[in-house]
Structure 1
């Protein structure tokens, strides 16, 4: 499991780096919003990975809360972009 955990951490770090690049360099607001949503999904994946390693289920509540908050915020960004 430690080899798979290490590989997963490496892939998560690389994907975070690419998302941060898109977040800062993105040409419009919609690209930045999508990058922020993807960063949240990567955060959720890393918390799930951490939760599997420490074998605790208490982090599932955090994952659900972050997912709901980001769904609402992305919906509001989409509504804002549609009105422009």
Structure 2
């Protein structure tokens, strides 16, 4: 599996969606935040911006629920980078 798929949003979407589900199921909060950031970004790159924003919003919410601030800034940064400025 040594292929380089960097910049391949379809593959990134599938893998990050699977990782987000796995991390959520096993209670790995930070891994879930990171996977949702990747998923939201991939969806945006595929032209599915509303879905991407939804995943990034979920990432922010998940990060805010952690007992440490590790993922909060990254999730908010990703939303801002993709043009989502509402903090709802």
Alignment TM class, shorter chain as reference: 0.3 to 0.5
Structure that is richer in helix per residue? 1
TM-score (norm 1): 0.43
TM-score (norm 2): 0.42
**Structure of greater Rg:** 1
